[in-house]
Amino acid sequence: MSEQIIKLLLTGTLETLQMAVISTVVAMILGIPLGVILVVTSKGHILENLAVNKALGVVINATRSVPFIILMVAIIPFTRMIAGTSIGTTAACVPLTIAAIPFLARLVETSIKDINFGVVEAAQAMGASPLQIIRKVLLPEALPTIIDNITVLIVNLIGYSAMAGAIGGGGLGDIAIRYGYQRFQGDVMLATIIILIVLVQLIQMAGDGLSKRMNKK
C-alpha cells in the first residue's frame, strides 16, 4: 500500500469522525429535549398534552421511516441551502443530523419511560416543579442509559457516514467506493473495513465504560 493511500485513509478516518461528532452533538442538543417532551407530554405524566405528543410522534416516526440513502438524495436542495454544497463532509452532516435527531429522541424516550414513576410522584409531593423534575430527577436517573443510547447513535452514524460516500459524502465510505470498488483495489477496501471495525470497538468500549461510571454514582 502506497504512502498516498495511507494518507488518504488517515484523512478519510478524520472526515468520518468529524461527520459523526458534528451530527452527534447537534442530535444531542435537539434529540434529548425532544425525547423528554415525548415522555412528559404523554398521558398521565407531569405535562400531559396529547395533541403535542401525537403531533411530535408523527413527525419523528415519519423522519425515521425514510431509509438513509433515500433521505440523503431527497433533501439535497435543503443540504445545499444549509451547507452551500451537496457533496463533501460538511454537506453529509446535514442528512446525518436529520436522521440522528429522531433516532436519539426515541431512544431517550424509552430510557426515561423505564424510570419508576414513583420517583416522579415523590418529587411532586415535595413541591418540585415540572422543570425541576426533568432536570433533577428524570435526566439524572436516565443518564447511564442515555450514554448507552448516544454510543449506539455514534456507531450508527459511522455506518451512515460510510453510506454517504456513495453520493460523494467523503470519509472512509467514499474511499472504499472510489478505490476499493471502482478501481478494484482490494487492499484499500479491506483497510477501510478494518478501520471502521476498530473505530466502532473503541467507541463502544468508551461508551460502556462511561455508562458504568455514571451508574456507580
C-alpha cell at 28: 444531542
Q: Which DSSP category does 184 fall into?
A: -
The answer to whether 130 and 46 have CB atoms below 8 angstroms apart is yes
The answer to whether 37 and 52 have CB atoms below 8 angstroms apart is yes
What domains, with CATH codes, occur in the chain? 3-216 (1.10.3720.10)
pLDDT truncated to tens, each residue of the chain (217 aa)? 688 889 999 999 999 999 999 999 999 999 999 999 999 999 999 999 999 999 999 999 999 999 998 999 999 999 999 999 888 899 999 999 999 999 999 999 999 999 999 999 999 999 999 999 999 999 999 999 999 999 999 999 999 988 888 777 889 999 998 888 888 888 999 999 999 999 999 999 999 999 999 886 6
| Residue 143: exposure state from Cβ atoms within 10 A (0-12, 13-18, ≥19) | middle
d(C-alpha 114, C-alpha 148), whole Å? 14
